[in-house]
Amino acid sequence: MSTFEPVLTRNTRRPDSEKIATYLANGGYQATRMALKMQPDEIIEMVKRSGLRGRGGAGFPAGVKWGFMPKDAPQKIVAVNTDEGEPGTFKDREIVERDPHSVIEGVIIAAYAVGANRAYVYIRGEFFLGVKRWIKAIADAYEHGFLGKDILGSGFNLDMSVHRGAGAYICGEETAMLESLEGKPGNPRLKPPYPAQTGLFGLPTLVHNIETLACIPHIIERGAEWFAGIGTAESKGPKIFSVSGHVNRPGNYELPLGVSLREIIYEHAGGIRNGRALKAVIPGGASTPMLPADQIDVPMAFETLKAIGSELGTGAVIVMDESTCMVQAARRLTKFFAHESCGQCTPCRLGSTRLYEILDRIERGQGKKGDLELLLETVQGIDGTTFCPMGAALVNPARSAIRHFRDEFESHLANKRCPVNGR
Amino acid sequence: MNIAERSLPPAIEDPRERAMLLAALYLAQEQNGWLTPEAIRRVARRLKLSEGQVRSTASFYTMFRLEPRGRYHIQVCEGLSCYLVDGAETIIEHVARKLKIRPGETTPDGRFSLEIVQCLAACDMAPALKVNDELYGNMSLAEIDALIERLAQS
Amino acid sequence: MPTINLTIDGKKVQAETGQTVLQAARAAGISIPVLCDHPALPPEGACRICLVEVEKQRALQPACTFPATEGMVVFTRSPRVMAARKFSLELLVSDHPLDCMTCDATGNCLLQDLAYEYGVTGDRFKGKQHNYPVTDPNPFIQVDRNKCILCRRCVRACQFVNGVEAISVFYRGFNAYIGFGADSTMQDSPCEFCGSCVAVCPTAALWPKMSIGKGRAWQTRTVDTICSYCGVGCKLTLYVRDNEIVRVEGAWDGPANHGWTCVKGRFGYDYVHHPDRLLKPRVRRYLLDGKKKSRKGAAWEWVETDWDTALDITARKLAEARQASGPDSIGVLASAKCLNEENYLMNKLARQVIGTNNIDHCARLCHSSTVAGLAISFGSGAMSNSIEDVTEQAKAFFVIGSNTTEQHPVIGMRIRQAVRQRGAKLIVADPRRIDLCDFAMLHLRQKPGTDIALLNGLMYIILEKGWEDKTFIAERTEGFEDFKAVVMQYPPDRVSQITGVPVEQLHQAAEIIGTTRPMAVLWAMGITQHTTGVYNVMTLANLQMLTGNMGIPGGGVNPLRGQNNVQGACDMGGLPNVYPAYQPVTSEEARKKFEAAWGTPLSPDAGRTVTELIPDILEGKTRALYILGEDPVMSDPDTNHIRKCLEQVDFLVLQEIFPSETEPYADVLLPGVSFAEKSGTFTNTERRVQMVRKAVEPPGEARPDWEIIRDLAVRMLAGRTLNPDAPYAGWNYASTGDIMDEINALAPSYAGITHERLERGESLQWPCTGPEHPGTPILHTQKFTRGLGKFAPIEHIPPAELPDKEYPLVLSTGRVLYHWHGGQMSRRAKGLLEIYPQPLIEISQEDAEKIGLNGTKRVRVCSRRGSIEAKAFVTDRVPPGMVYANFHFPEASANVLTIAALDPVSKIPEYKVCAVKIEPVR
């Protein structure tokens, strides 16, 4: 097993890791001190050079995003997306609950770089403990002069507050999150304008996933080159992989991008439970296309997963062994998306439910001739026609399951029962 | 029509005021365990919003309840990871049988209610469930039984 | 606008920067289907029916929101596009009832049209279907959520057009649905039933209840006309089937309303077909028997008769009165509900045929003080600006004494749009907390009858701060110093004491009014219906001159006229002191002109007003009345006294469509017709003359009013010799167009307003002085009618009857959204009556408690003149010490209580202030 010195999770396993005293005792807020002595543009350049890409799923280059923020706007905002709702993903929860200060540092530095004086942290409603710890962490940061007026004598001001989500996966989509922050239903907004032009309360807003921001203090402290030295050609830095399903040691594993899926499953997560054989893996959370067992040598990086028709997503690895019915897996994931559709656009609102209904009847042995074709037609109809990226995401379980396990669907249809578990 | 009871949305809206809506709804929900019509009215009045704005927002989010629920609201995850480790339906059916209610229902004494929820971001602790705001991971059926017994006594 | 070039379906197309692909395509005649997009609403991009393929874009893009850019290549009907549209349609139809056989929207349903075009049957996806109950109990709009496609057009209409945001989407995803208020019924929500949601609904999810089963699109024909309720002048499209109006829509090209209407305009039309309509002329039996007038027994019974008999009797009786007591013993009341052409004929009948200037109408009761006041200040008295420029361009609105959202709802909507969509500042000054206050930055709650003090106080601060427009004052006005001397007597402390408005609010309001330009003043009865009505208006004129807001778009003095054609009735000479187009009867030049035109000598003396003509009956000065479409028993102050007077009149002819409250006093009843049964013109509050078109045949033997007036005049003129050279002596009109030709010749401001031009689609506001003249959207742009604007020094004068020990409260009166004036029309509109079935007296919580009134009980209101009993509506809409009542219901009309104290100049009664006491009805 290769060893990798944890960066993002270096604090999270300590006792009382969420407390500011623990954080400070382990070198916390040094990056903030360094950054506030730099020129904002220097920081943006540094982040660009680091090759950091967004960890929320889309993988957009962070430095480029910072560069989109208008220089002359009098009021700007940083919004932190911690609405971790992608099934299989629980990396944010660890940071939220156990290392809030590293993210606060990341936010301070980002806000300073783009000239924002207000930051909002949107935390998934279910993370009740995380919300409580963040409220405390922000209060402590104010007390120590890391937030508020004239931070560390730099003349830079930043206010921060926590907003608790209330149960809506779609609020992980950045504009839906902004709507939710504004106290509205989380319906995604029309783009353009992008948040960097018109974001929260109509102000230019930099939106980042929490893990992305957690990388920032380390880039400042150790340098862009250090960060860019980790990973692959197009995917730089450390990454937390959430591993769940049929493995012996489910959990979060921080590893360099580019690590193979095989290594994650068999070395870090302890291999498949009960000595069973691997059947399929979802590499990046529920919305990423699943891979069959023979593709697990793929390096976990944006470009390599894309090349084989999947995505890095949030890096949430869901492992399924030979006892898993793939129709059932697709059905279950699709039910999730149907439940989470905001209902704004037709293909997602109705299409997600119809997709689920077809999978459901196939799974229950009530499928009809032509249902497989209808499934593919529905996938085709939803993909690329919806208001927001949810449409492209919600068809992936069904589409990838059919792509790799078509015979299981056909068997369900022909024999009216499951070829895997006999039910 | 009751002209006096009309509650109009604010024309000159302070967006920061509306931004407090979700937090206000959480506070209101704590009072009775659910958002009563009166609670909705009071939140609307306090934030100078219309009742429609408040209720439509509340209804969008699964964590706000527009109907009464049990004192202990058991939320069982049916996500893929929980299913894979024999959670989800197995647990849901078990709890339903034990409490003699179906998902979405409340026990006659108002103590327990059962709900199926989507992924709780606790897949490392699958199978997982929540009781009110408290998360319980790696739950065997025996542990669930013990938990319910404990809550029934409290 | 710079132009960009793009290619759509292989066709080279040009578009303006900022246009969407949909707009560019439409301009090029390429049709792209839509469901959620609507030209009058902001785009949503949600239904995904307008998806198109754009080169270099991975995903299909919605044409309704995707911006057109230079060099873009778009395909609107590629196989991929067609498949995507068909897919979304299959989904929509899969959760939609397939009841097109019985659905009212069939033939008028976007979903149905698209399903037809794309061959969608709904068979592709069999699955869960919603089954919502169709139960919303409101009288106007059927809510069938099963037919809803969640396009959210209604949500946007309610948010952006009306502004009350009564409609929201509840829950999400597949379970999302449209709901009202706090997810209850429409009636329990802030809904005002303007029906904008119905107007934009692409299916039958929202459908007018009154129209259900009354005919599909292809079974009806449409007639464009003008609404018969208020003075906004909304253009309506009537859908007619088998001589019945079955549905009403706002016309999208209506200049005043852009397709929107209020509840009365859209749902209040069924009075036209009410069984109470007068179908045959009636005369009292004593007239047929040739006996002396008796108001008792069989002699006073109505007898239906034929037109010849009725008109002969009328002509004979009027001629007798003229013979016996002189022309000035006859009074003629024109009608603000009737056509311009008809009012012109009433003016001609009074002046030429009878020989008196005793002609007046209900403008006396609403805006006579405006006409008089503005005439003094500026030289002419009408709304100076247009609805369009005021609502689209004013940066601030000062609404004083106008309950705009209830009385001129579509203007009220457009003000709310201005506030909400472009951040216009709104100040409301009103003793009542009217609905518009919810949209105002500031609500000044002055005591009733203290408007002059309030306005002087605001102008004091403006002058003190130097916010006045010195250039405008120097170049365009006179009398400034005298005016200033009086205003400087109104420092904030004193004004606060008189008006009850806190000093701080005076400063806030003065700053907005003094520093925001353009700023429009809007007013209505709250300003005019006072014994100081003329002075109130002149004070507002002072304000707009002081701030330089005259003659510019978005500014001006904007009196909102009440009746659909009250502006026109005034314009047509329905006033005792002026011929058509405000040519004074006391001007020799004007008199000569009309004597030459009509071929007979005319009276040189101004006539009497309606507020004099009726009380004068008791003194024998008024012997006979000819009333066209007015109901003085309901509309004039001090009802008991009016009744007493009308009992004494020798002869009363009433030309009406219903047996009104005045009917019991009439000797002859002539059945006229409603707006839907005749053609001609109305002039709205902004001086816009618009075509009214016949949609249905009159019921029974009812006849268009202009025909009745004509035939009566012809009878009365029989045997009289008029100058044969006079071009307009005769009454040989075959149509209202013939009458308009005569108006064009004699009323200079209407000279260019012909039926031909209006029918060609021209939209003309007077003055329009010739066939080429484009009309005048804004008055006083270069100079005032009188030359320089006249500042007038005006002091505060208290109302005529103030509260005292015995009558400790102030009564103010007015209307409500759901009814119209005396209620003859609106109480015969089923839905309007259902939603507002009885009079309500607004009382503050404090006063209700003081008299021991529990919220639901009935209350008795007494003044020195009478008393009424009605249900109390305990509310903070009125301040303590004030009650508010309407005059829509004869069983408890506010006018039983009101005082006939008149403004000395305009003779308008003080409807807005009198002293009353209240007690619970045990």
Separation in Å, CA C814 to CA A227, C242, C407, C417, C909 = 75, 38, 9, 25, 13
In chain A, what are the domain boundaries? 20-228, 238-321, 326-415
Judge: C60–A168 Cβ closer than 8 Å, yes or no: no
Tell me if A291 sits within 8 A of A308, measured CB to CB.
yes
Summarised one tens digit per residue, pLDDT across range A250-276 is: 999 999 999 999 999 999 999 999 999
Mutate to test the interface with B, among A163, A182, A352 (most CBs of B within 10 A): A182
Q: Is the same domain home to B42 and B113? A: no
C148, C153, C159, C163: CA torsion to nearest 10: -100
Q: Hey, which chains touch A, using 3+ CB pairs under 8 Å? A: B, C
Is the Cβ pair C84, A190 closer than 8 Å?
Answer: no
Shortest distance between the Cα of A379 and any Cα of chain C, in A, equals: 10
A contacts of C91 (beta carbons < 8 Å): 346-347, 350-351, 354, 381
Closest partner residue to B81 among A87, A166, A181, by Cβ?
A87
Run of H or E including A281: strand A278-282
Long-range contacts of residues A273-279, Cβ cutoff 8 Å, at least 24 apart:
A273/A246, A273/A247, A273/A248, A273/A321, A274/A246, A274/A321, A276/A246, A276/A321, A276/A322, A276/A323, A277/A321, A277/A322, A278/A246, A278/A319, A278/A320, A278/A321, A278/A322, A279/A320, A279/A321, A279/A322, A279/A323, A279/A324, A279/A326
- What's residue C1's pLDDT? 60
Q: Given this model, what pLDDT does residue B7 score?
A: 42
Which residues of chain C are within 8 Å of residue A343 when distances are taken between CB atoms? 150, 169, 171-176
pLDDT digits (tens, 9 = 90+) for A128-161: 899 999 999 999 999 999 999 999 999 999 999 9
CB atoms within 10 A of CB C55: 10
Residues in A closer than 8 angstroms to B85, CB to CB, are 245-246
Does pLDDT of C830 surpass 60?
Answer: yes
Does B4 contact C873 at a Cβ distance shorter than 8 Å? Answer: yes
Name residue, tokens 């802030």: C190
Distance, in Å, from the CA atom of C767 to the CA atom of C48, rounded to the nearest integer, reads 48
* Pairwise CA distance, residues C269 & C248, whole Å: 8
Mean local confidence (pLDDT), C485-501: 96
Residues 6+ apart with CB under 8 A from C359: C331, C332, C333, C334, C346, C347, C350, C351, C573, C574, C575, C576, C607
Q: Of A292, A286, A290, A285, which Cα lies nearest the Cα of A316?
A: A285
* Structural contact between residues A151 and A159, judged by C-beta atoms closer than 8 angstroms: no
Chain B interface includes A278 (CB < 8 A):
no
Q: Does C682 touch chain B (CB under 8 A)?
A: no
Q: Residue C670's beta-bridge partner residues?
A: C655
Poorest-pLDDT segment among A54-63, C478-487, C563-572, C846-855: C846-855
The CATH classification number of A238-321 equals 3.10.20.600
Distance in angstroms (rounded) separating the CA atoms of residues B16 and A77: 13
Pairing of strands C668-671, C651-656: parallel
Distance of alpha carbon C704 from alpha carbon C708, whole angstroms: 7
Interface residue of A97, A123, A126 to substitute, partner B, most B CBs within 10 Å: A126
Chosen from C20, C88, C92 to mutate, greatest number of chain A CBs within 10 A:
C88
Quick one: pLDDT at residue B5? 41
Question: Could you tell me which chain B residue has the CA closest to the CA of A333?
Answer: B80
Q: Describe the crossing of helices A396-415 and A326-340 by its angle, rounded to 10 degrees.
A: 130
Query: C334-370: string of b/e by CB count within 10 Å (b at 16+)?
Result: bbbbbbbbbbbbbbbbbbbbbbbbbbbbbbbbbbbbb
pLDDT of A100-135, one tens digit each?
Answer: 999 999 999 999 999 999 999 999 998 889 999 999
Q: By the 8 A CB rule, do B79 and B120 touch? A: yes
- Spatial distance between the Cα atoms of B121 and B137, rounded to a whole number of angstroms: 11
User: What 8-state DSSP symbol labels residue C376?
Assistant: H
Q: Is A319 helix (H, G, I), strand (E, B) or coil?
A: strand
Domain containing residue B33 = 10-60
Asked if C112 is an interface residue toward chain B (Cβ–Cβ < 8 A), one would say no
Among the residue ranges B14-23, C86-95, C106-115, the one predicted with the least confidence is B14-23
User: Which residues of chain A from 161 to 180 reach within 8 Å of chain B, CB to CB?
Assistant: 163-169, 180
Phi, psi of A392 (to 5 degrees): -60, -35
CB contact under 8 A, C165 and B9: yes
Task: Mark whether B88 and B40 lie in a shared domain.
Answer: no
- H helices, E strands: number in chain C: 31, 37
For the beta carbon of residue C760, count every other beta carbon within 10 angstroms. Answer: 8
User: Percentage of residues in chain C with pLDDT exceeding 70?
Assistant: 100
Q: Given an 8 Å threshold on Cβ–Cβ distance, is C187 in contact with B1? A: yes
Say if the Cβ atoms of B52 and C163 lie within 8 Å: no
Task: Read off the pLDDT band of C380 (50, 70, 90).
Answer: confident
Measured between beta carbons, which residues in chain C are less than 8 angstroms from residue B4?
873-877
Q: What does pLDDT average to over chain C?
A: 94
Chain A within 8 Å of B44 (Cβ-Cβ)? Answer: no
Name the residue facing A246 among B47, B84, B118 (closest C-beta): B84
Distance between first and last Cα of chain B = 46
> What's the distance, CA C629 to chain centroid?
17
A85 touches chain B (CB under 8 A): yes
| Averaged pLDDT score across all residues of chain B | 87
**Chain C residues lying within 8 Å of A382, measured CB to CB:** 87
Answer for the pair C344, C743: CB distance below 8 angstroms, yes or no.
yes
Q: What radius of gyration, in Å, describes the C-alpha atoms of chain C? A: 29
Q: For residue C720, how many other CB atoms are within 10 A of its CB?
A: 9
Mean per-residue pLDDT, C783-794: 93
Strand blocks (E) in C701-797: 764-765, 789-790
Q: What is the DSSP string of A210-239?
A: HHHHHHHHHHHHH-HHHHHTSB-SS-BSEE
Are the CB atoms for A284 and A310 separated by under 8 Å?
yes
Distance separating alpha carbons of residues C328 and C325, to the nearest angstrom: 8
Chain C residues touching B9 at Cβ < 8 A: 164-165
pLDDT at A2: 58
Look at the domain A326-415 and name its fold.
de novo design (two linked rop proteins) (1.20.1440)
H-helix or E-strand containing B122?
A: none
- For A323, the closest chain B residue by CA position comes to B84
Q: What would the pLDDT profile of C789-822 be if each residue is shown by its tens digit? A: 999 999 999 999 999 999 999 999 999 999 999 9
Q: What is the pLDDT of residue C755?
A: 96
Number of domains within chain B: 2
Widest pairwise Cα distance in chain B: 57
Going by the DSSP 8-state scheme, the letter that residue B9 receives in this structure is P
Pick the closest to residue A223 from A12, A35, A97 (CA basis): A35
Nearest CA in chain C to B53: C168
Q: Classify burial at C858, counting beta carbons within 10 Å of its beta carbon; exposed 0-12, middle 13-18, buried 19 or more.
A: middle
Q: Which residues of C touch A342 (CB under 8 A)?
A: 172-173, 176
Do B79 and B143 fall into the same domain? Answer: yes
- Say yes or no to pLDDT of B37 above 70: yes
> Are both B82 and B141 inside the same structural domain?
yes
Same domain, B83 and B48: no
Residue B56 shares a structural domain with residue B125? no
pLDDT beyond 50 at C731:
yes
The dotted CATH code for A20-228 is 3.40.50.11540
- Please classify residue C461 by burial: count the beta carbons closer than 10 Å to its beta carbon, then call 0-12 exposed, 13-18 middle and 19+ buried: buried
At residue B14, the pLDDT reads 57
Residues of B in contact with C189 (CB under 8 A): 52
Which of C549, A332, C855 lies closest to B83, judged by CA? A332
> C-alpha A120: how far from its chain's center?
18
Is C183 close to B56, i.e. CB distance below 8 A? yes
Q: Provide ipTM, 2 decimals.
A: 0.94
B122–A contact, CB cutoff 8 A:
yes
Q: Which residue has the tokens 């005369």?
A: C283
- Angstrom CA distances, C889 to C262, C409, C627, C824, stand at 21, 21, 21, 9
Q: Which residue of B has its CA nearest to A202?
A: B15
**CB contact B141 to A (< 8 Å):** no
Please enumerate in sequence order all residues whose Cβ is within 8 A of that of C123, keeping only pairs 6 or more positions apart, or say none.
Answer: none
**pLDDT band for position A5 (50/70/90)?**
confident
Query: Do residue B1 and residue C171 have CB atoms under 8 angstroms apart?
Result: no
Q: Which of C171, C180, C438 sits opposite B11 (nearest CB)?
A: C438
Nearest to B22 among A87, A126, A180 (CB): A180
Examine the domain organization and report whether B86 and B147 are in the same domain.
yes
C-alpha to C-alpha distance for A345 and A354, rounded to whole angstroms = 14
Chain A CB within 8 Å of residue C592 CB: no
Nearest to C457 by CA among C427, C486, C432, C426: C486
A308 Cα to chain C: minimum distance (Å): 19
pLDDT digit string, tens, across residues C159-217? 988 888 899 999 999 999 999 999 999 999 999 999 999 999 999 999 999 999 999 99
B131 vs A: CB within 8 A = no
Residue type, C111: L
Residue B42 lies in a domain: yes
The average pLDDT across C646-668 equals 96
Whether C45 contacts chain A with CB within 8 A: yes
Q: Given 3-state DSSP classes, what are the helix, strand and coil percentages for chain B, each rounded to the nearest 5?
A: 45, 10, 40
The answer to whether the beta carbons of residues A260 and A297 sit under 8 Å apart is yes
Q: Residues B50-70: what's their mean pLDDT?
A: 94
In angstroms, the separation between the Cα of residue C395 and the nearest Cα of chain B is: 15
Residues of C in contact with B60 (CB under 8 A): 171-172
Which of C45, C49, C59 faces A384 most closely, judged by CB atoms?
A: C59
- A-C Cβ pairs (cutoff 8 Å, strict): 97
Alpha helices in C299-349 (DSSP H): 307-325, 340-348
Q: In the predicted model, what is the mean pLDDT of chain A?
A: 94
Q: Distance from C146 to chain A by nearest Cα, in Å?
A: 14
Interior angle at CA B77, CA B74 and CA B82, nearest 5: 135
Residue B3 lies in a domain: no
Separation in Å, CA of B101 to nearest CA in chain A: 22
Phi (first) and psi of residue A126, to 5 degrees: -70, -20
Quick count: other Cβ atoms within 10 Å of Cβ C732?
Answer: 8
Q: How far is A277 from chain C (nearest CA, A)?
A: 37
pLDDT at position A191 is 87
Query: Rounded to whole angstroms, how far apart are CA atoms C824 and C901?
Result: 26
In a domain, B113, yes or no: yes
Tens digit of each residue's pLDDT (9 = 90 or more) over C391-409: 999 999 999 999 999 999 9
Residue type, position B58, single letter:
A
Residues of B in contact with C175 (CB under 8 A): none
Instruction: Report the residue of chain A nearest C150, measured CA to CA.
Output: A344
Residues 6+ positions from A56 with CB-CB distance below 8 Å: A81, A172, A208, A209, A211, A212, A314
Quote the DSSP letter at residue B75. E
For tokens 């890096």, what's the residue? A315
Scanning every residue of chain A, which has its alpha carbon at the shortest distance from the alpha carbon of C83?
Answer: A381
Q: Do C83 and A168 touch (CB under 8 A)?
A: no
Name every residue whose Cβ is closer than 8 Å to that of residue C586 and which is 6 or more positions away in sequence: C577, C604, C605, C606
Residue-wise DSSP of C239-275 = EEETTEEEEEEE-TT-TTTTT---HHHHH-GGGGG-T
